[in-house]
Structures are given as C-alpha cells and as structure tokens.
Amino acid sequence: MGRDGRGRWSRGVAALSLCITAGAAHAQSSVSLYGLADAFAGVVRTPGASGNTWQVGSGGFSTSYWGMSGAEDLGGGMKAIFTLESFYRINSGQSGAYNGQSFFGRRAFVGLSGPFGQLTLGRNDSLLFVSTLLFNPFGNSFVFSPIVVHSFLSSAMGAASVQSDTAIDDSIVYQTPEIGGLTGSLQYSNAGVAGHAGQANYSANVLYFAGPFSATAAVQSLHTASLFLNGATEQTAWLVGAAYRLQAVKLYLQYERVTNNNELTDDTVQVGASAQVGTGSILVSWAGTLRQPAGGTDVRWSTVVLGYDYPLSKRTDVYAAWRYDTMTSVSSGNSLGAGIRMKF
C-alpha cells in the first residue's frame, strides 16, 4: 500500500472510531424537549371583585410551560441530570406565569441521581407545593384548584397564606430512594443572601403511594425577609394530606396550618373527589380557610369547584369547571370556564 493509500486508510479508521465513540456517547445520554399548552375561555369573578372579567386565559387546569431535561449515564447506576423549565402565558405569548418571573421560573437545576437517591442544585420545586398539588383533584390549577388558590394567591382577604413561590431559588434538594412506596425529601435555601444572615429557608416532605392509599406530610420554614408581603419576617407552614381510591372514585383530604411571627395564622381544609364516568372524569373540591390576624377580626373564605375533564387522546383533553367563592364582609365570587389542554 502506498503512502496515499495508508493515509486514506488511517483517516478512515479515525473517522470510524469517532463515529463509534459519538454513537456510544449518544446512547449513554439523552435530552428531551417537552411541555404543555393550556388555554380557557370564560368569566372569572373573585371574592370582593367589582364585576365579572370575561377573558381568554392561560392555564385553566395547568399552567402552560415548556422545558428541556437531560441525563447522562455515569456508570454504576449513577446519572448526571439537568432540567430547565419555563412558564408562559399562551393567551398573550408572554413568558412567565406572571410579570417579572424569571425565565426558567418553573424549575432549573442540575444534579446527580443513583442508588443513593437524588441530589439537585438550583431552583427546585417547593416541597410544600408538591404535596399540595398531588392530593387534590384539580392538581396544580391556579384558577380552579381551591387549595392552590387559597394557599398561593392573594385575595380580598389579603396576602397569600404561603409566602413563597412554587419553586425555591438557590436551593439544594435531596430525595431518598423509594422504599416500599415511601420517599422523603429535604430542601435548604439561602435565597441568594450572602452569608444568609439567619435568613435561610428549610422544608421537607414525605410521600407514600402504595395500592389504593396514599399520603403526604410537609413542612416549610421561611426566614427570607424579601419574600414576605404579609408584614411578617418568619413563617412556618404544615400540611398533611391523604387520598384513597374506591374503584372508579378517588377521595382527597388535606389540612394546612400557616403561622407567622406577626401572629397571623391561617388554617385551611380541603376535601375533594374525582369519579370516572365513561371516558371522562367528574371533579369536585371544597376548601375553607380561617384567617386569624393579631388583634383583628377573623376572616373566613370558602371555595367550591365542580369540573369535568374529557380526554380526546393520550395528550389532549378538554375541560369545563364552575367555581363559587364566599368570604367574610365582601361580595361572593362566581367563575365559569371551559378549555383545552395539550401535552407535547
């Protein structure tokens, strides 16, 4: 073989080796692009509002978002993982679930998973929010889930009960491996405060799923002064929840207590059910909150929601829901909407 022949052969072997190496690397790692689009049309009137608001809204049953995540196999059962997820408002095309939210406001983390469990660093889900959305029939809906609305949205009653977002900045989360249907998670955050100056935030939850019964317990302790809109500087929230499936019917129950160092206390109870009727599901949920301010008058807020969800395919469903609110000393709220939700 001549010099040119040997050169071409060598270059061919090198190219083949590169292709094999690239193929092996591709087989050991993956990146996925995914998301959800949800829009509804209807009227939304919250307690104390002066009138009805007719709208085409975003996120009737689920907040619209898109994201990407990836994993690389490191061997020995260990993987490197990352997730970047961004909310958007499909009715206006704006990014974020609300004005001013960070671009990857849903989740943004990198970490490791393996036989030891999972460890992630970045903007992680609030463990309290995870326990909230998993144990009510309307999931993470910020329009039609009574427990989510009562816990995480401001109202005529004042600032939201829980003074944190659905995800926590500058946080570390450790999740245990599953043992007999039981998992636990711990979260720490200094909220970007240098040296944190006593302003760190802590939370934990446990989740149990086995057979027809499931349960959760969660606690969140906030000490970052910049988070608070209710006049406090420290807050502790406790939540317990359970669900039980009886053939085509699933029952839900939650209790949440939120205390603040300005002596403001909220107690919230949620009961609900989902029932499969043919292909679709009937959903019903009620939540009641008692707010006890220091030296003030107690405020009671009650919300009941009745909904119907019908799947058109594995990825697309249509829904309709009616919500009715009553609150101490203000006018009642009456909301009605129908929408479509598509996963991609």
What is the distance between the alpha carbons of residues 331 and 325, in angstroms, rounded to a whole number? Answer: 9
Confidence bin at 29 (pLDDT 50/70/90) = confident
Q: With 80 as the cut, is the pLDDT of residue 197 above it? A: no
Residue 320 — φ and ψ, nearest 5°? -145, 145
Amino acid at 294: A
**What is the predicted pLDDT for the residue at 199?**
74
User: Which range among 12-16, 199-203, 294-298, 319-323 shows the weakest confidence by mean pLDDT?
Assistant: 12-16
What is the distance between the alpha carbons of residues 297 and 288, in angstroms, rounded to a whole number? Answer: 17
**What is the predicted pLDDT for the residue at 12?**
47
**What is the predicted pLDDT for the residue at 70?**
97
- % of the chain with per-residue pLDDT over 90: 84
What is the distance between the alpha carbons of residues 232 and 224, in angstroms, rounded to a whole number? Answer: 10
What is the distance between the alpha carbons of residues 17 and 31, in angstroms, rounded to a whole number? Answer: 23
> For the chain, how big is the Rg over CA atoms in Å?
24
Contact 164, 126 (CB under 8 A): yes
- % of the chain with per-residue pLDDT over 70: 90
Report, as an integer, the average pLDDT of 180-192: 90
Q: Report helix, strand or coil for 97.
A: coil
Report, as an integer, the average pLDDT of 152-169: 95
Q: Report helix, strand or coil for 225.
A: helix
Q: With 80 as the cut, is the pLDDT of residue 196 above it? A: no
The maximal CA–CA distance of the chain, rounded, in angstroms, is 97
Q: Which two tokens stand for residue 43?
A: 């009227």
Share the mean pLDDT of the chain.
91
What is the distance between the alpha carbons of residues 4 and 6, in angstroms, rounded to a whole number? Answer: 5
Please name each of the domains of the chain with its CATH number.
28-343 (2.40.160.10)
Q: With 50 as the cut, is the pLDDT of residue 6 above it? A: no
What is the distance between the alpha carbons of residues 271 and 259, in angstroms, rounded to a whole number? Answer: 21
Tens digits of per-residue pLDDT, 244-291?
Answer: 999 999 999 999 999 999 999 999 999 999 999 999 999 999 999 999
Confidence bin at 195 (pLDDT 50/70/90) = low
Confidence bin at 142 (pLDDT 50/70/90) = very high
Report, as an integer, the average pLDDT of 97-108: 95
Contacts of 260 (CB under 8 A, 6+ apart): 163, 230, 231, 232, 234, 235
- Find where tokens 């009227």 sit: 43
Q: With 50 as the cut, is the pLDDT of residue 4 above it? A: no
Q: What are the DSSP calls for 33-52, one per residue? A: EEEEEEEEEEEE--TT-SS-
Q: Which two tokens stand for residue 161?
A: 């009960």
Report, as an integer, the average pLDDT of 123-134: 98
